[in-house]
């Protein structure tokens, strides 16, 4: 079993889930995946289907149009699957806290395993967040 | 050959275990080379093994409306690709085979695509069905030039036995062209980049594989990996076998690198472009090679 767990940490495939962000966080995530920061070194790969995902990268604030879809997508993902909130919006709604179109924050809908604050977070911060998540999971 | 030796061949040496290890190494070479071309560092040596083991540990999600083919298809495709690799590597290592094994090989190599079509089609997903439609068109377009250019080697050596073809096929203009056509069409068979229309991560969200998860996805990926590691051996074996062991290994690596380069330097074609390319460019070329061979041998 230990080998399986180790390989889970060695190849986390990420699925990019945008809940109406302002697009800056998404661009930073793309930055992490492209050659300059090259997270394939750690086995991280961007996948197109939720069925292949190990980590959901959530950006943006849930609104009335999509908050149920977040829940639905999380249920669709094969477990074990971890949610990472990227950006202040996804961490705690930021300035949109009292907005008319903001029912709740991400962690009230699905369990969030790691928060990466910043508006938008630097690519280095996102990689550091990954590293911390993997560290914590490997101790479990 | 009795049952036990065939079982040993199938499960261990040229069969499952050997091709699994070879596919991990080939996958590493492929991904590392891709990374270096893009000025990246690339994954560690055993990355493909980690990916496979991880997929074993994940939950398998079966769609509500799927039927039994959805689960059966990945197993069938893996079993058939292992059978193909057993036949090919047995001919290369032990110089054993039977009359007509090249035809059997061509048939077996189509089973993974058909299994994927059936399995993915039964998942009742809209995007998967688009992928399935494209996969069928792909299958129809690349089989024609592939079989025609294999005919060159068969006519040249006047034999249907893989071992005899290997030992009698001399390098000439038509075999070089035919081998390149086989390389391109087999690239389409594995779904590598110029021909990855049925997967198309960016437009179809991995298309035919969209509903697969966990173990089943791992088996499909493993099938593709093993097929990928089989292609250089297939081409070297049929068209360029003459020479020693070292020459074989060097040619194997060269073809592996060539495939990776093709996949890295080409954009994805549209499905109609693939059909036009295969039927109106590759097929006449292959036919020309066949005619040349006939003129030379008669
Ligand atoms: S955290 Fe900032 S950059 Fe990211 S989506 Fe929200 S507003 Fe945009």
Domain harbouring A36, CATH code: 3.40.50.12280
Cβ-in-10-Å burial (0-12, 13-18, 19+) of B43 comes to buried
* Tokens matching residue B259: 């495939």
Q: Which of A27, A85, A89, A96 to mutate to test the pocket of ligand 1 (most atoms within 8 A of CB)?
A: A89
pTM of the predicted model as reported, rounded to 2 decimal places: 0.88
Phi, psi of B40, rounded to the nearest 5 degrees: -120, 175
Contact, B162 vs B88, CB < 8 A?
yes
Q: What is the pLDDT of residue B241?
A: 81
Q: Is the pLDDT of residue A8 over 80?
A: no
DSSP string, A95-132: GGTT-TT----GGGTS--SEEE-SSSPPHHHHHHHHHH
Q: Is the pLDDT of residue A1 over 70?
A: no
Contact B57 A43 (CB under 8 A): no
Beta carbons within 10 angstroms of residue A136's beta carbon: 12
What's the gap in Å between the CA of A79 and the closest CA on chain B?
5
Calculate how far, in angstroms, residue A88's C-alpha sits from the geometric centre of ligand 1.
6
The ipTM, to two decimals, is: 0.84
Contact B38 A52 (CB under 8 A): no
Q: For the segment B62-76, what is each residue's pLDDT rounded down to a tens digit?
A: 888 878 888 888 999
* Tokens matching residue A7: 């390989």
Residue of A nearest to B50 (CA): A7
pLDDT band at B61 (very low <50, low <70, confident <90, very high): confident
Q: What is the pLDDT of residue B53?
A: 87
Q: For the segment A123-132, what is each residue's pLDDT rounded down to a tens digit?
A: 999 888 888 8
Q: What is the pLDDT of residue B4?
A: 81
Note the residue count of chain A.
140
Contact, A56 vs A17, CB < 8 A?
yes
* Tokens matching residue B40: 């990246």
B45 CB near a chain A CB, below 8 Å?
no
Which chain A residues are within 8 Å of B210, Cβ to Cβ? 48-49, 51
- Range of weakest confidence among B102-116, B196-210, B269-283: B196-210
Mean pLDDT to the nearest integer, A72-87: 87
Q: For the segment B103-142, what is each residue's pLDDT rounded down to a tens digit?
A: 898 889 899 889 888 888 888 888 888 888 888 888 888 8
The beta-carbon contacts of B71-74 under 8 Å, at least 24 apart in sequence, are B71/B119, B71/B216, B72/B119, B73/B115, B73/B116, B73/B118, B73/B119, B73/B120, B73/B122, B74/B115, B74/B119, B74/B212, B74/B215, B74/B216, B74/B217, B74/B219, B74/B220, B74/B223
Residues with CB under 6 A from ligand 1: A 21-22, 24-25, 59-60, 87-89, 94, 119-120
DSSP state of B267: P
B205 CB near a chain A CB, below 8 Å?
yes
Provide the mean pLDDT of chain A.
85
Phi, psi of A18, rounded to the nearest 5 degrees: -100, 115
* Residue whose token pair is 């030379």: B296
Q: How many domains does chain A have?
A: 1
Phi, psi of B296, rounded to the nearest 5 degrees: -70, -40
State whether residue B166 is helix, strand or coil. helix
Contact, A138 vs A9, CB < 8 A?
yes
Instruction: State which residues form the domain around A82.
Output: 2-139
* Tokens matching residue A103: 């029912």
Q: Is the pLDDT of residue B277 over 60?
A: yes
């Amino acid at each position: 079993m230990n080998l399986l767990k180790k390989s889970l940490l060695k190849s986390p495939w990420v699925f990019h889930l945008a809940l109406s962000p302002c697009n800056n966080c998404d661009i930073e995530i793309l930055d992490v995946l492209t050659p300059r920061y090259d997270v394939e070194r750690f086995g991280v790969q961007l996948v197109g289907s939720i069925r292949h995902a190990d980590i959901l990268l959530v950006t943006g604030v849930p609104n009335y149009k999509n908050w149920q879809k977040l829940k639905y997508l999380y249920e669709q993902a094969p477990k074990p699957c971890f949610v990472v909130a990227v950006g202040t919006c996804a961490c705690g709604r930021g300035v949109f806290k009292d907005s008319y179109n903001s029912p709740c924050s991400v962690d009230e809908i699905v369990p969030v395993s790691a928060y990466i604050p910043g508006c938008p977070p630097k690519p280095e911060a996102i990689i550091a967040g990954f590293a911390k998540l993997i560290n914590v999971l490997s101790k479990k | 050959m009795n049952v036990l030796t065939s079982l040993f061949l199938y499960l261990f040496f040229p069969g499952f275990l050997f091709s699994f290890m070879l596919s991990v190494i080939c996958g590493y070479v492929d991904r590392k080379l891709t990374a270096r071309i893009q000025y990246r560092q690339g994954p560690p040596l055993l990355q493909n093994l980690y990916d496979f083991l991880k997929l074993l540990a994940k939950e398998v999600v079966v769609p509500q409306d799927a039927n039994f083919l959805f689960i059966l298809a990945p197993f069938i495709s893996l079993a058939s690709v292992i059978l193909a690799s057993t036949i090919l590597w047995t001919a290369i290592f032990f110089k054993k085979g039977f009359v007509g094994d090249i035809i059997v090989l061509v048939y077996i190599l189509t089973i993974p695509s058909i299994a994927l079509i059936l399995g993915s089609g039964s998942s009742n997903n809209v995007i998967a069905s688009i992928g399935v439609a494209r996969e069928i068109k792909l299958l129809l377009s690349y089989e024609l030039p592939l079989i025609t250019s294999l005919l060159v080697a068969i006519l040249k050596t006047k034999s249907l036995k893989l071992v005899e073809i290997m030992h009698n096929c001399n390098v000439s203009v038509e075999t070089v062209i035919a081998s390149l056509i086989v390389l391109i069409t087999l690239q389409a068979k594995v779904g590598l980049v110029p021909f990855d229309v049925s997967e198309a991560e960016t437009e179809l969200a991995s298309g035919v594989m969209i509903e697969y998860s966990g173990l089943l996805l791992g088996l499909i990926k493993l099938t593709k990996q093993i097929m990928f590691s089989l292609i250089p051996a297939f081409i070297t074996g049929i068209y360029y076998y003459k020479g020693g062991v070292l020459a074989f290994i060097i040619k194997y690596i060269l073809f592996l690198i060539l495939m990776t380069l093709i996949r890295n330097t080409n954009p994805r074609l549209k499905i109609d472009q693939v059909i036009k390319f295969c039927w109106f460019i590759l097929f006449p070329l292959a036919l020309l090679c066949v005619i040349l061979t006939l003129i030379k041998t008669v």
